[in-house]
Amino acid sequence: MTKTENPGTAIVTGAGGGIGAAVARVLAARGTAVAAVDRDAERLRENVEKIAADGGRIEAVPADVTDPGDVEAAAARAERLHGPTDYLVNAAGILRTGAAVELTERDWSETLAVNATGVFLMSRAVVRRMLPRRTGALVTIVSNAAGTARVSMSAYAASKAAAEMYTKCLGLEVAGHGIRCNLVAPGSTETPMLVGMWADESGRASTIDGSLETYKAGIPLRKLADPRDIAEAVAFLLSDRASHITMHTLTVDGGATLGV
């Protein structure tokens, strides 16, 4: 998507911070009219104001992606604000860590609710609107953990795997209507979610180096991803440059999963 292309309109969930905020900024910079969705209304407002101050056409649409009523209202409001939605980016996500046999029911259910059910609800609401127009593109942010087991991340990995396969099945069903559904699978990305897992600054080095104790490879490129790295991959998959790509997972992890 460049300034010479039709910039279109987009809904971006999780746009209050992290990868979602970076996606909203990158799309807005390309002229896309963005409806920014997050359940943290204050954090969302702050991010939207920053992007708008830089010239982006963006509106805050506070909503909880786990609530069907909120989701339907957000999808409808986005179209009232900007017209028919061309793009959807499912970037809302949470992380609950802990040994698989010690996770609480709440940790499990909340993780699945946001990371998987939220993708289902928002995709259903938006794609239903795209179907009569026979055009549209969707990207769901998953994780390289969706296909690689990680110690203490069973709920997160399971939720991302569910979101990945839902998105691919959706993509198969709507391909004949001209709607593309793809995924971006980040590895370790410098966001509050990742930094919050570190006990101290040594967490950065151990993330890059990997850990034999937890069977985790390091990052061959020797650096964490910047949220913009993920956002640029999303922008590509939404653009006409990816017009013949659907049901594809683009891994952006610096080689951490060794190309598998």
Share of the chain above pLDDT 90, in %: 89
Nearest Cα to Cα of residue 182 among 242, 133, 112, 132: 242
The predicted pLDDT at position 24 comes to 98
Rounded Cα–Cα distance for residues 180 and 87 (Å): 10
> How many other C-beta atoms can be found within 10 angstroms of the C-beta atom of residue 72?
16
Q: Determine the CATH number of domain 9-189+226-248.
A: 3.40.50.720
Residues in the chain: 260
Nearest Cα to Cα of residue 167 among 116, 238, 203: 116
pTM recorded for the entire structure? 0.95
Tracing tokens 């490879």 back to the chain, one arrives at: 217
**CB 10, CB 87: distance < 8 Å:** yes
* pLDDT band at 231; cut points 50, 70, 90: very high
Share of the chain above pLDDT 70, in %: 97
Query: In this model, does residue 198 exceed pLDDT 80?
Result: no
**CB 91, CB 25: distance < 8 Å:** no
Query: In this model, does residue 65 exceed pLDDT 80?
Result: yes
Q: Please name every residue paired with 59 in a beta bridge, in sequence order, or none if there are none.
A: 35
Compute the mean pLDDT over every residue in the chain, rounded to the nearest whole number: 95
Q: What is the pLDDT of residues 132-169, one digit of tens each?
A: 999 999 999 999 999 999 999 999 999 999 999 999 99
Mean pLDDT over residues 63-69, rounded?
A: 98
What is the DSSP secondary structure assignment for residue 115, as one 8-state letter? I
Active site residue 156: yes
